[in-house]
Amino acid sequence: MPIRVLPEVVAAQIAAGEVVERPASVVKELIENALDAGATSMVVEVREGGKRLLRVSDDGIGIPAAEASLAFARHSTSKLQTIDDLDQLQTLGFRGEALASIASVSRTTMVTRHREEQAGVELVLEGGDLRSERPVGAPAGTVISVENLFFNTPARLKFMKAESTERKHINQLVTRYAMAYPDVRFRLVQDDREQFHSTGSGDLADVLVDVLGLDVFREMVEVNPQPPSRPDLPPVEVYGFTSVPNLSRSNRTHIVLFVNGRAIVDQRLTYAVVQAYQTLLPNGRYPLAVLLITLPPEDVDVNVHPTKAEVRFRYQDAVFTAIQRAVRVAISHEDPASDYTGTGYANAWSPPPRPIVPGEEQLQLDMAVPDPGRYPRASEMDSDIPAGPERPARPRTLPILRVIGQIGVTYIVAEGPAGLYLIDQHAAHHRILLEAITEQFETGEKFERETHRAVTVELPPDLARTLENGLEALAVFGFEIEPFGGSTFRVRAVPANVVGQELEHVLYVLARELQGDPNRQAERLIHRLSKLAAIKAGEMLDTDVMQGLIQQLERCASPLVDPDGNPTMVHISGDDLARQFGRE
Ligand code: ADP
Ligand code: MG
């Protein structure tokens, strides 16, 4: 074949391969255009996973009728003119490729009306060719409908994934943009069913409740910008929410990062989040996090890849450190509460830079401070927790709780990031001891024991026989018992944590356990021993003791249920309280 310059449409189709990989990529480009146009509200409609229809309607500034067809020409953009403009880029788009690419592989209809023009215009393109252009009446804003995606690129069409997969991708994409732009109202409708909507309240917390559900959101703590680690580096603000360590996932995909309002994929920065949890999460477990990172546009190079999902940083280490520190502070006790000057948390960050479209009045963001009691900051809660062990030996599995007191000499009252907790002191201690004794047993570590003057104990004859056969099993836990004729025994040593208990009772209940399933003997003994040794209901406890108990419970593998299957705690969320008091 002789060398020829490719026809415009063929070039666009090839370029489309990079930008428009799948239906979700079309949605991404259309959403970004709507955001760049200053939309405060947009609707995303999808049919058949995007194969039939993708439509984004926005209330942005619109396109002047005279320029409308130009929007579909390759390399036509209103967002930059010189290469230097890239340095100060305030928009998501800049390549001027998306609409040309999308139109080249579909049937695209655009209805748009510029805010300052009387009439709108409708354009229909097929495979990149303009088929019709006519004036229409329309509200200010832009509606772009993409039908029959990839109809003229059979290879792409063949590689389209199942409808359900495409649907999922689109869901994820829209919810991510909703998180990055809490001030914009998003509505996603797939096959006539609403999948998701955000309120546009400007509050990331509201979006997260919609995306994650209230139960998961309750296990998230707020991440706030920290003072820079080095004053010579440019400021990097990190705002968002991250999970308390008892909530984790088996992969990193629940760590979502935005840089200047752009969803990005960056292994190293994702690792910064994971690293902040250090020993708090077991291997193979990862936190959930949504972090909005803001830094001067000239310090980010967004022109690395056509899909703009990868970015390069001028000071990568500064970004890494900022993320790691902010997350670390949020989840640990180290929170310098004194740094906190605001009255709520919503004012601790500024939204990602919004484009300033000529002619558009800048929108006053409603950053109303939510009731601070609703999702209190971790820092406020933690301020008077006594310093715990320097380094947690085990991962934290509960949010950090602060003891308030004891009621009914049975329950510990504590508060945490998500409200009020009532903890059954016996159930909690039973759980703690069970896990500790099991671990000690499994690692073969010696049990601490207390030797004392031999005491004689008598048991009913059948239990005495069982006990006699089980003396070795009991010796593992620190008992030193010998038969003393008939149904009596001499006890010379007991495990340290049952010291002070009535020996007859201890041996009686242990002998009963020995009568059970021999295959589960150790397990049964541990269960019983931990119950025996646990603090009882009716015991008055000092605050220090209660706090210690809670700290140990925070690191149990299963802190929420006792070994008998009963709850160790009752949680009353801040929302529940507010409702009870008619505050909502
Ligand atoms: P880019 O976003 O990189 O500039 P696009 O091909 O996505 O390139 O869009 C081309 C141009 O069309 C944009 O620069 C913008 O001027 C205009 N445009 C596209 N979508 C919209 C929209 N929803 N509202 C207003 N203008 C739009
Ligand atoms: Mg664009």
| CB 169, CB 48: distance < 8 Å | no
| Cα–Cα nearest to 172, from 159, 184, 160, 186 | 186
d(CA 565, CA 207) in angstroms, rounded, equals 35
- Residue 229 C-beta-side C-alpha neighbours within 13 Å: 12
Expressed in angstroms and rounded, the spacing between residue 155 Cα and the centre of ligand 1 is: 27
d(CA 479, CA 476) in angstroms, rounded, equals 7
Domains of the chain and CATH, by start: 8-198 (3.30.565.10), 219-334 (3.30.230.10), 372-571 (3.30.1370.100)
Expressed in angstroms and rounded, the spacing between residue 16 Cα and the centre of ligand 1 is: 16
The tokens for 361 are 């009045």
Residues constituting the chain: 584
**For each of the chain's 584 residues, which pLDDT tens digit applies?**
777 777 776 776 666 666 688 899 999 999 999 999 999 999 999 999 999 999 999 999 999 999 999 999 887 787 767 777 767 767 787 778 889 999 999 999 999 999 999 999 999 999 999 999 999 999 999 999 999 999 888 777 777 778 889 999 999 999 999 999 999 999 999 999 999 999 999 999 999 988 988 888 888 999 998 887 777 778 899 999 999 888 888 888 899 999 998 888 888 899 999 989 877 888 788 999 999 999 988 888 876 666 667 788 888 888 999 999 999 989 874 333 333 333 333 333 333 343 333 333 322 222 222 222 332 223 322 222 233 333 334 566 777 788 999 998 899 999 887 789 999 999 999 999 999 999 889 888 888 888 877 889 999 999 999 999 999 999 999 999 999 998 999 999 999 888 878 888 899 999 999 998 888 899 999 999 999 999 988 888 888 889 889 988 988 888 888 898 888 999 888 888 888 888 86
| CB 204, CB 226: distance < 8 Å | no
What is the pLDDT at residue 61? 95
**3-state secondary structure at position 290:** strand
pTM summary value: 0.59
Expressed in angstroms and rounded, the spacing between residue 94 Cα and the centre of ligand 2 is: 7
Query: Is the Cβ atom of 554 under 6 angstroms away from ligand 1?
Result: no
**3-state secondary structure at position 186:** strand
Strand ranges (E), 321-465: 402-407, 411-416, 419-424, 449-458
d(CA 481, CA 454) in angstroms, rounded, equals 9
| CB 262, CB 308: distance < 8 Å | yes
Expressed in angstroms and rounded, the spacing between residue 455 Cα and the centre of ligand 1 is: 88
What is the pLDDT at residue 560? 86
User: Angle CA(251)–CA(255)–CA(257) in degrees, nearest 5?
Assistant: 150
Cα distances (Å, whole numbers) of residue 344 to 50, 341, 349, 374, 568: 41, 9, 11, 10, 32
Which pLDDT tens digit goes with each residue over 179-203? 999 999 999 999 999 999 999 999 9
What is the pLDDT at residue 305? 67
Mutating to test ligand 1, I would choose from 59, 67, 77, 144 the residue with most ligand atoms within 8 A of its C-beta, which is 77
**Nearest-CA residue for atom 16 of ligand 1:** 78
Query: Is the Cβ atom of 93 under 6 angstroms away from ligand 1?
Result: yes
Q: In what order do the strands lie in the sheet with 402-407?
A: 402-407, 411-416, 419-424, 569-573
**3-state secondary structure at position 574:** helix
d(CA 385, CA 333) in angstroms, rounded, equals 8
The ligand minimizing its distance to the Cα of 38 is: 1
